Amino acid sequence: MKGLIFDIKEFALHDGGGIRDTVFFKGCPLRCVWCHNPEGLSRERELYIRKARCTNCGLCRTPCNHPDCAPFGRCLHICPQNLISVAGQEWECDALAEHLLRHKAIFDETGGGVTLSGGEPLLQADFCEALLLRLSGKVHVAIETSGYASEEHFWKVISKCDLVMMDLKLASPTAHKEFTGVNNDPILQNAKRLQKSGKEHLFRIPRIPSITDTEENLRALAEIAGESPVELLSYNTMAAAKYPNVGREFSRRIGKTGFEGDPTKFFQNAVCRK
């Protein structure tokens, strides 16, 4: 079985305990206006061109015979600055598991492991499940998910993970639809299932100024989170620079100011992280 992966990051610092590798699954059903990984949105392989440094030398437009260049209408093997790559690489499940297990020694030494992220890993639930079957019991596996998936997909993946880090973004269904493109009902249902399951988990709330980071939303999310541990993540716009690289435009809807004061006070068990 094959999965589409757009990055594997070694020494990922904020994706669980210990030293970890994070695997980024390509494709996401959500379209959060603040998305940090625009190259993870599409379910298709796509060109990723670091345009900021491009000198328009035109070499990549030279006709070539490389089979892998054909779908993109550009030569991928000629840029003198190596600015052109393809976001999305197909991995065989066995090969990916083997690749990730290379670092098992340091994962074990440090209480670390592998984190599945994206994109939305649950969009490739079958592949996730197959990968987890190969990793479970060998390394600690965490998942970062929006929680937007059917109960079946959610459960068959989550049940094989050691730690679930799930986003809570907006409590209001209309706001959720407006800023992420999808209904939050499946997410809230899955959040409840997660809480009931006894599985080690953590809710993460991206603090997007004027969108999620409002007193009203934070209070409402606190209700949903209940006793579960919560991490409030502060936001920066560094990802905006990546949007043109995949031919997307960064949203102008993000405001400047968010909730002022300590947002953890609304929650039973929350910490802030930069």
Partner 1 sequence: MNQELYQYYIVDRAHRALRKPLGRDLGAEFASAGLCPEERMCRRFEIACAAETPAIMPFEKIVMRRSISALPDVFTEEEWETIKKDPYIHELGYVSNLSPNYEKIICKGLLAVYEESSKYQKRVIDALLGLCDRYRAEAEKQGREDLAEIFGRVPRQGARNFREALQFFRILHFFLWLEGNYHNTVGRFDQYMYPYFKQDMDAGIYTRETALELLEDFFVSFNKDSDLYVGVQQGDNGQSMVLGGLTPDGTDGFNLLSELCLEASCELKVIDPKINLRVSKNTPLWVYEKGTELTKAGLGFPQYSNDDVVIKGLERLGYDHEDAVNYVVAACWEFIIPGCGNDIPNISGVNFPLLVDRAIRAYLPTGGDFEGLIEETRKNIHAECERKIPLFKNVWFVPSHLMDLLRDGKKYNNFGFHGCGIASAADALAAVKTYVYDEKSVSAERLISALDANFENDPELLHLLRYEAPKMGCGKAVADDLGFWILDTFADALDGKTNDMGGIFRAGTGTAMNYLLHARKVGATADGRRAGEAYGTNFSPSLFAPVPGPLTDIESFTAHDLTRTMNGGPLTLEFDGSVFQNPDTIRKVAMLVKHFIDRGGHQLQLNTVDLDALKEAQKDPEGYRQLVVRIWGWSAYFVELDKEYQDHVMARQMYSV
Binding site for partner 1 (CB under 8 A): 8-11, 13-14, 18-19, 21, 59, 64, 75, 77-80, 82, 102-103, 105-106, 109-110, 273-274
- Inter-CA distances, 233 with 170, 203, 230, 236, Å: 14, 10, 10, 10
Angle at 235 between CA 41 and CA 257, to 5 degrees: 120
| Minimum separation from the CB atom of position 9 to partner 1 (A) | 7
- End-to-end Cα, the chain, rounded Å: 37
- Give 14 or 177: the residue with its C-beta nearer to partner 1: 14
CA–CA gap between residue 88 and residue 256 (Å, rounded): 33
Nearest to partner 1 of 1, 52 (CB atom): 52
Which is closer to partner 1, CB of 103 or CB of 207? 103
Return the beta strands (E) in the chain as ranges: 2-12, 20-25, 46-49, 84-87, 89-92, 113-118, 140-145, 163-167, 201-207, 230-234, 270-273
The full length of the chain comes to: 274
- State which amino acid sits at residue 233: L
Which lies closer to partner 1 via its Cβ, residue 8 or residue 220?
A: 8
Nearer to partner 1, 26 or 103 (CB): 103
In the complex with partner 1, which residue's Cβ is closer, 2 or 77?
77
Contact by Cβ (8 Å): 191, 224: yes
**From the CB of 13, what's the least distance to partner 1, in Å?**
5
Q: Are 21 and 115 in contact (CB under 8 A)?
A: yes
- To the nearest whole angstrom, how small is the minimum distance from the Cβ of residue 229 to partner 1? 14
Residue 76 CB, shortest distance to partner 1, in Å, is 9
Residue 144, helix vs strand vs coil: strand
Nearer to partner 1, 33 or 59 (CB): 59
Output the smallest distance, CB 165 to partner 1, in A. Answer: 15
Report, in Å, the least distance between residue 77 CB and partner 1.
5
Rg (CA), the chain: 19
Q: CB of 8: closest distance to partner 1 in angstroms?
A: 7
Is the omega angle on the peptide bond into residue 119 within 30 degrees of 0, that is, cis? yes
Nearer to partner 1, 11 or 255 (CB): 11
Q: How far is the CB of 240 from partner 1 (least distance, A)?
A: 15
d(CA 59, CA 77): 10
Residue 36 is classified by DSSP as S
